[in-house]
Amino acid sequence: MKAKLSFACLALLYAFTPLTAAPKNIVLIITDDQSPDFGCYGNKVLKTPNLDQLADEGTRFRNAFATTASCSASRSVLLSGMHNHANGQYGHAHAFHKFSSYPTMKSLPVMLSGAGYRSVLIGKLHVEPESVYHFDEVLKANARNPVAMADASRPVIEAKSDKPFFLYFAPADPHREGLGIKDDPLHPNSFGNRPKGFPGVETVVYDPKDVIVPAFLPDTPACRAELAQYYQSVARVDQGVGRLIQILKDTKKYDDTLIIFQSDHGIAFPGAKTTAYDPGLRIPLIVRHPTIEKRGVVNDAMISMVDIMPTVLDFAGALPKTSPLHGRSFLSILSESQPKGWDEIYASHTFHEITMYYPMRVVRDRQYKLLWNIAHPLPFPFASDLWEAATWQDVHRKGPDALYGKRTVKQYIQRPKFELYDIQQDPDEVKNLIDDPKLTTVRDAMLDRLKSFQKKTNDPWISKWNYE
């Protein structure tokens, strides 16, 4: 009964909060399974000239995090401003997974429409129900061709209207696609790449020997082959962003538009996607504010996915004075490099696919990170595409003691109840300090913070503490 009343209250809060229209446009670009591992984030192999240019003209965040490394759940957080355990989108929306958000939720496109915006979707939505995540207009284009998506968005951008536009631009790249490439002996996934390429897109091919293998992955031929395919898919994203920006400039809307570029979570490899480790939660975040004079800012604030919606609403002049949103606007710190008070994030994961029940709750600050694996007696479940990944199978077939990155296969699959890491000393999260007597105070304090977070955000899984 309490849950029903609380969601009814949320609806009333949204319904009776006055909103005002703003004269500025908004473009929110969200890619699919992309880590901050391209040009402006330090990768000298993966060339992304358009994203690099956007970073030069805006603010690049070095410590931005998803709240869950799962597509539907993460996107629900982005579009509701609330953790998925509170909005009801616990996992995938499509097919038999059938998770969906509470019908009382008020989403970002709906709120912006109420504030006088034209809300427009192109590409991947992957949340339900449509009535909650409703856009005024839905454009059609191949989501694997971000250049075509940009071209399809032109009529919305150039339209003469007394309403500003909110364009939600969501490519399917660089998500995995289907099974491995059959005529390649290593069977790497194609990551949406096509032998004949895509219309309007320059195919950029990478040599597997040149890719940079992150520490959480095994440096094997199979992994390098898959990373090369991933790089190619990211290059396609970069070209789509470049075309979209050029259209904004051609229509003289570039200097009237807030542009946010981000992904839903980290790269689609075991050890990242679906996990609560940093490779899964870290996302790229580049923001170009049209009127802020300071450009090329590198910002160290710890930003969470729940902060995106309040920031967009703030820019639009539509942020409710009394808000149930879990995040806060970072609009005021875009010109700063080391803003104070942005030193902590939380993560909440429950499902990916319907068969993948493995709730995890996380608190992370600049030095320590605590993970609570609520279903720890269970083996860690695999998304179907990650289990089939050549990178994983190449190591898994060697047995439980084989090294996958810096963990053994057995350590990856069977996890402890709690994990505590000193991120500064151990950025790869491999030395669990939960039983270190020197860190008892740190551990207890982080456990208390985690419980407070769960209570504050109405997390149903807080009840699991009663069974300890």
Mind spelling out the 3-state secondary structure of 416-457? CCEEEEECCCCCCCCCCCCCCHHHHHHHHHHHHHHHHHHHHC
Q: State how far the Cα of 393 lies from the Cα of 258, in Å rounded to an integer.
A: 42
Q: State how far the Cα of 314 lies from the Cα of 312, in Å rounded to an integer.
A: 5
Query: Which sign does the torsion angle of CA 64, 66, 69, 72 carry?
Result: negative
Task: Select which of 9, 40, 71, 223 is catalytic.
Answer: 71
- DSSP, collapsed to helix, strand or coil, labels residue 279 as helix
Q: Where are the alpha helices (DSSP H) in 57-204?
A: 71-80, 84-87, 108-114, 146-158
Number of C-beta neighbours around residue 186 at 10 A: 17
Contact 320, 17 (CB under 8 A): yes
Q: How far apart are the first and last CA of the chain?
A: 25
- CA nearest neighbour of 350 among 461, 186, 464: 461
- ∠ at Cα 293 (288, 299), nearest 5°? 55
Q: For residue 71, indicate whether it is catalytic.
A: yes
Residue 397 gets which letter from DSSP? T
- DSSP, collapsed to helix, strand or coil, labels residue 210 as helix
Q: State how far the Cα of 313 lies from the Cα of 94, in Å rounded to an integer.
A: 28
The strand pair at 360-365 and 344-349 is best described as: antiparallel
Question: Could you give the residue numbers annotated as active site?
Answer: 71
